[in-house]
């Protein structure tokens, strides 16, 4: 598994999805870390959400239990076997990540510990239909907080807002093994992350990518796509891709592509039509970030270069 090359960004979007993916089967990735794939393939989730289990002994944690599919929840319970689940930890509260937390808690008695429920702004909800509004954690982790379990094992929260405001990655420290970071949707192994305002924030997302540049994680285990072993090189690629996209958007606005549909049509030629809303969201996220930095200006739905 670890020898798989991470798929490159947007070029895999729109292709067919594997039908023989190993759904509801526990795959061991390395000592103490296993993976279960949920049967929720889509243009946004690739072949499905990957739930990880971590723990080398009698206790374990579950990261991103996934969508509430009975087959998937049963597979997680079976993977635990006699072991005690000390925490059900969600990276964020999109519907393909957190809903199974409730069923898994009901089945095992394990607590939901990790990201915060989505906060609402006073001006209105930041959430849309993609959010799991029923998520209720028993304990919220802040950056650096840890879940200690087993014989010296720990899962440590790394705050990585951007994809969503409540996104956490989790660093696993095993007894002996270390350096694995569960990256949720912050860094994915098959595609670039979708950042959609108002909850998604491109400035925060870039800062959170740069935060991982300062770490020395050995491997990223994303919720979608293959493990990433060339972590620093991969991050440089992601950051470079976003900077190119930003440059392209500034150029297109300068050429008179004044609204988001016009920018998407130019910047994402041949895009799977099902992904146009996500592309529009990402362009919007870039424009808001550029506006904050004084580079573009909005007037209703239209955008122009800010001239000083
Ligand atoms: Zn997500």
pLDDT tens sequence across 1-58: 232 333 333 333 334 444 457 898 999 999 999 999 999 988 778 889 999 999 999 9
C-alpha of residue 125 to centroid of ligand 1, in Å: 17
H-helix or E-strand spanning residue 95: none
C-alpha of residue 293 to centroid of ligand 1, in Å: 26
User: 217: closest CA among 231, 228, 207, 233?
Assistant: 231
pTM of the model: 0.90
290 backbone φψ class: left, alpha, beta (φ>0; ψ -120 to 50): alpha
C-alpha of residue 140 to centroid of ligand 1, in Å: 18
C-alpha of residue 127 to centroid of ligand 1, in Å: 12
C-alpha of residue 197 to centroid of ligand 1, in Å: 13
C-alpha of residue 28 to centroid of ligand 1, in Å: 24
Give the tens place of pLDDT for each residue, 212-268: 999 999 999 999 999 999 999 999 999 999 999 999 999 999 999 999 999 999 999
Within 206-267, strands assigned E span 219-222
C-alpha of residue 131 to centroid of ligand 1, in Å: 9
Predicted local confidence at residue 123, as pLDDT: 41
Which residues, other chains included, contact 200 with Cβ-Cβ below 8 Å and sequence gap of 6+? 162, 163, 164, 194, 281, 285
**How far out from the chain centre does Cα 65 lie?**
13
- Quote the CA–CA distance of 55 and 66 in Å, as a whole number: 19
C-alpha of residue 74 to centroid of ligand 1, in Å: 23
pLDDT reading at 91 higher than 50: yes
Predicted local confidence at residue 2, as pLDDT: 31
What does the angle CA 9 – CA 13 – CA 18 come to, to the nearest 5 degrees? Answer: 110
Predicted local confidence at residue 127, as pLDDT: 60
pLDDT reading at 307 higher than 60: yes
């Amino acid at each position: 598994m670890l020898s798989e090359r991470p798929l490159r960004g947007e070029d895999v979007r729109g292709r067919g999805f594997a039908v023989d993916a190993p759904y509801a089967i526990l795959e061991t990735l390395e000592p103490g870390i296993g993976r279960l794939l949920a049967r929720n393939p889509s243009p946004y989730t690739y072949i499905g959400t990957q739930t990880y289990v971590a723990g080398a002994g009698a206790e374990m944690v579950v990261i991103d239990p996934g969508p509430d599919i009975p087959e998937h929840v049963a597979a997680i319970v079976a993977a635990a076997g006699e072991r005690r689940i000390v925490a059900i930890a969600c990276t964020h509260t999109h519907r393909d990540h957190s809903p199974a937390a409730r069923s898994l808690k009901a089945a095992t008695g394990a607590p939901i510990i990790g990201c915060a429920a989505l906060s609402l702004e006073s001006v209105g909800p930041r959430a849309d239909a993609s959010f799991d509004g029923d998520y209720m954690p028993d304990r919220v982790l802040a950056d650096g907080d840890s879940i200690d379990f087993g014989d010296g094992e720990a899962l440590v929260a790394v705050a990585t807002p951007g994809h969503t405001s409540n996104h956490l990655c989790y660093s696993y420290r095993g007894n002996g093994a270390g350096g694995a970071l569960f990256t949720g949707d912050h860094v994915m192994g098959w595609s670039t992350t979708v950042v959609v305002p108002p909850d998604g924030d491109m400035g925060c997302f870039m800062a959170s990518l740069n935060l991982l540049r300062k770490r020395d994680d050995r491997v990223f285990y994303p919720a979608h796509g293959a493990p990433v072993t060339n972590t620093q090189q991969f991050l440089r690629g992601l950051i470079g891709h976003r900077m190119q996209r930003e440059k392209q958007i500034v150029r297109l606005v300068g050429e008179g592509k004044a609204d988001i549909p016009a920018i998407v049509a130019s910047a994402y030629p041949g895009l799977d039509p099902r992904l146009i809303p996500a592309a529009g969201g990402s362009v919007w996220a870039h424009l808001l970030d550029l506006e904050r930095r004084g580079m573009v200006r909005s007037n209703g739905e239209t955008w122009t270069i800010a001239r000083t």
